[in-house]
Amino acid sequence: MVNVKNIVMLGFGDMGKGIAQVCLMAGYSVTAVDISDDLIQKGLEYIKTGFEKLESKAKLPEGSGAKDFLVKLKTSKDLIEVVKDADLVIEAVVEKLDVKQKLCKDVIENSPDHCIFASNTSTMSITEIAENCSKPENVIGMHFFNPAPLMRLIEVIRGDKTSDESMNIGIEVSKSLPCLRGERYVARVLKDRPGFIVNRVLSPGSIYINHIIDLAYEKGIPWEQVDADLSGENAPMSTLTLSDFTGRDIAYHGQLYYSEKLSPDYKPGKVLTMQMEQGDLGKKAGKGFYDWSKGRPQPDLSKKAGIVNREIFVAINANEGCRILEEGVVTSWKVIDDSILAGMNFPGPMEYASKNFKRLTVLLEETSEKLGKSYLKPCDLFKSGKFVDMV
């Protein structure tokens, strides 16, 4: 197997700088490439501050200081030049298929034969990204969670033409990357299907959320009360605050994507569409569900609307977990639960469903009927309970 030493981090934005930091922490030489001088500068500052903090908290290996790691970091704007001796290129540029396809082709054409191109895409098909390049066997997905130094999960994804060797190298490198909050968890994604593991399993919850939000709007129920229904007790941010924080446009585009790839039932709801049209995109626009003009809102969650059944989310997510088991994305429900815990910091739905699938099957039938959304019907693997043994 190829011994990876030189990593090129392509795209030095939010994700790229975090990924570059963990690669440096593992001892790799990293060259960060971006088209923006400003973002290169910001990335360098982020990593420098990160290592200095680790040094001041004595969290670096004994006998080493921030400088020992920073000396292995270079930056460049010339991709073609720097990939000449790259063993692995991790791409985290804008989420646009044509941009990623072009970069994949450029990297594969100009790098050594063994060089692997790994995409950090959240939604796109690895097979499609590799489509125009001459060595699709060298292309994998390496999907990190934000921020990469803190979130334990990396999903390593096999495209339709990816070789075993490339997958194994992707897994080995991923396992070697430290995590500042607990032990790194690497999930092997065996089929290139929309959303991979975590995003996919959680995705159909949006169908139920759209229903709740639209219902609350029609009935004039204040968002704070709906938010009180939706939010977990110990969550660092309430559900609707988080949704504003991430951006309503991200939710909108995600739902459109799944509505094209999986089912029209994902189509954005009335309120979400209205928020897009009015530009109420959340934090970045100063307004979403809440007013952000004076900083982060502090919703009063003391009163609930009483229109949400939280168990429905568990049922919907576990049902989707069974769909990816049916599709062969993973072969064990434990991997789904472990991935969600490592990527999102909350427990996955599968263990609970394995003990309650009969009751949850009835709940899914009722919910699908009530909402008029056939995608929420229990799939065969779920209702038969045969997934229980796929541990």
Ligand X SMILES: NC(=O)c1ccc[n+]([C@@H]2O[C@H](COP(=O)([O-])OP(=O)(O)OC[C@H]3O[C@@H](n4cnc5c(N)ncnc54)[C@H](O)[C@@H]3O)[C@@H](O)[C@H]2O)c1
Count of residues touching ligand X (by CB under 6 A) = 23
**Residues designated catalytic:** 122, 143, 155, 199
Cβ within 8 Å of residue 380, ≥6 positions away: 326
To ligand X, the closest distance from the beta carbon of 15 in angstroms equals: 3
Look at residues 341, 333, 320 and name the one whose alpha carbon lies nearest to residue 185: 341
To ligand X, the closest distance from the beta carbon of 14 in angstroms equals: 4
Task: State the helix-helix crossing angle for 310-327 and 205-219, rounded to 10 degrees.
Answer: 150
**What is the Cα–Cα distance from 62 to 55, expressed in whole angstroms?**
10
Helices and strands in the chain: count of H runs, count of E runs: 17, 8
Assess 122 for contact with ligand X (CB under 6 A).
yes
What's the Cα-to-Cα distance from 26 to each of 48, 56, 380, rounded to whole Å?
Answer: 16, 19, 43
To ligand X, the closest distance from the beta carbon of 313 in angstroms equals: 21
Stretch that binds ligand X, among 28-36, 47-55, 311-319, 380-388 (CB under 6 A): 28-36
Q: 222: cis peptide before it, omega within 30°?
A: no
Instruction: State which residue, 226 or 262, has the beta carbon closest to ligand X.
Output: 262
Answer for which of 4, 6, 7, 16 binds ligand X (CB under 6 A) is: 16
Assess 130 for contact with ligand X (CB under 6 A).
no
Cβ within 8 Å of residue 50, ≥6 positions away: 21, 149
Stretch that binds ligand X, among 115-123, 129-137, 214-222, 319-327 (CB under 6 A): 115-123
Token pair for residue 87? Answer: 């063993």
Contact positions with ligand X (CB under 6 A) in 48-107? 92-95, 99, 103
Instruction: State which residue, 16 or 299, has the beta carbon closest to ligand X.
Output: 16
Assess 146 for contact with ligand X (CB under 6 A).
yes
Token pair for residue 187? Answer: 């999930």
How big is the CA angle at 143 (ends 25 and 267), to the nearest 5 degrees? Answer: 150
Assess 15 for contact with ligand X (CB under 6 A).
yes
Answer for which of 4, 7, 8, 10 binds ligand X (CB under 6 A) is: 10
To ligand X, the closest distance from the beta carbon of 103 in angstroms equals: 6
Answer for which of 12, 258, 266, 382 binds ligand X (CB under 6 A) is: 12
- Interface with ligand X (CB under 6 A): 10-16, 33-36, 39, 92-95, 99, 103, 120-122, 144, 146
